[in-house]
Amino acid sequence: MKKDFISLLDFTPDELQFIIDQAAQLKNAPRNACDLLKGKSFALIFQKPSNRTRVSFETGIFQMGGNPIYLAPEDINLGKREPTADIARTLSRFVDGIVARVFSHDDLLALSKFATIPVINALSDLSHPCQILADMLTVQEEFGRFKGLRLAYIGDGNNICNSLLIACSRLGVDIAVATPAGYEPSPAYVAAARAAARESGAQVFLTTSAQEAASGAHVLYTDTWVSMGQEEETARRLKDFDGFQIDERLAAKADAKHIFLHCLPAHRGQEVAAAVIDGLHSKIFDEAENRLHAQKAVLKFLYS
């Protein structure tokens, strides 16, 4: 049976830890996987523009000996110019894997259903597993452990928040999510996180108070309040998220040795103050670099 990388829900705590440890090893010794994908080609289906995701995947595949083929929105027009099922079946005859960055998670599921090759989630509206693996690698590098840590996610209960809930709860990290009312994360992901937390001993806490979530946190995390495709909601969202900016006053409530993470791109003066994202606690560029290593670890996991 083919293996996909669609959601962190599909992987056990041991598997997630294994991939993170592989990422750390590949970061320190990249030559260990330089021929793993030799002779293999990958279709990169991107419905959304991208900096970190595209460059890190293309670079990672190339470093592992493979051939990335970037397919922009107009190249395929997923599900419009031809059915997604036909695209999945056709690409399965040409390439060895599909990396898809899509608006709708349903498109990923359709690609996975009809493709006979691995499908990797490079972002959907429901989850962003590759980003969160890079985040957890960054946390492990900084603290050397997961157990006993508290991560505070403050902002929109979006795809990043959903995936953080699963990763933290399965790896034993306490997670506190603070969102405005009406912007909570997926109930299904919250339920799955709470079930996983009962096994790992982690705590899952939801609140509408940014101050409550940030208190004692070892990791402060936020994301943009207006994601791609939500531009028409900008005015309303900026109003609804008033009071949820991670600024110096809020950061002071965290642990003295906390780190700040953001998946980027960031909007200084909205979800985060410039003094925080550009400050001494910020690890955003270590986090961005770790996308490369985490994704190479996913590829090694799928193709070894």
Task: Give yes or no: 161 in active site.
Answer: no
2 domain-assigned: no
Active site residue 101: yes
Is residue 277 located within the same domain as residue 151? yes
Q: What dihedral do alpha carbons 160, 162, 164, 170 form, nearest 10°?
A: -160
- For the residues of 125-168, what is the DSSP string, one character each? SS--HHHHHHHHHHHHHHHS-STT-EEEEES--SHHHHHHHHHH
Does residue 32 or residue 228 have the better pLDDT?
32
| pLDDT tens per residue, range 64-80 | 999 999 999 888 888 78
Give the span between the Cα atoms of 196 and 202, in whole angstroms.
Answer: 8
Q: Is 291 one of the catalytic residues? A: yes
Q: Identify whether 255 is a catalytic site residue.
A: no
Residue 38: Cβ-neighbour burial (10 angstroms; 0-12, 13-18, 19+)? exposed
Number of domains in the chain: 2
Question: Is position 245 annotated as part of the catalytic site?
Answer: no
Q: Give me the CATH number covering residue 239.
A: 3.40.50.1370
pLDDT, tens digit, 9 for 90 and up, residues 17-66:
999 999 999 999 988 889 999 999 999 999 988 999 999 999 999 999 99
Please indicate whether residue 131 is annotated as part of the active site.
Answer: yes
The one catalytic residue among 128, 150, 170, 218:
128
Domain that residue 119 falls in? 8-128+291-303
Among 263, 270, 293, 295, the one annotated catalytic: 263
Of 54, 218, 258, 291, catalytic: 291
The whole-angstrom separation of Cα 195 and Cα 227 is 29
Residue 1 domain flag: no
Give pLDDT, residue 46: 95
Which is it for strands 41-46 and 67-71: parallel, antiparallel or unpaired? parallel
| 145 and 256 both lie in a single domain | yes
Higher pLDDT, 100 or 34: 100
In this structure, are 105 and 69 located in the same domain?
Answer: yes
Q: Catalytic residue among 52, 54, 101, 262, which?
A: 101
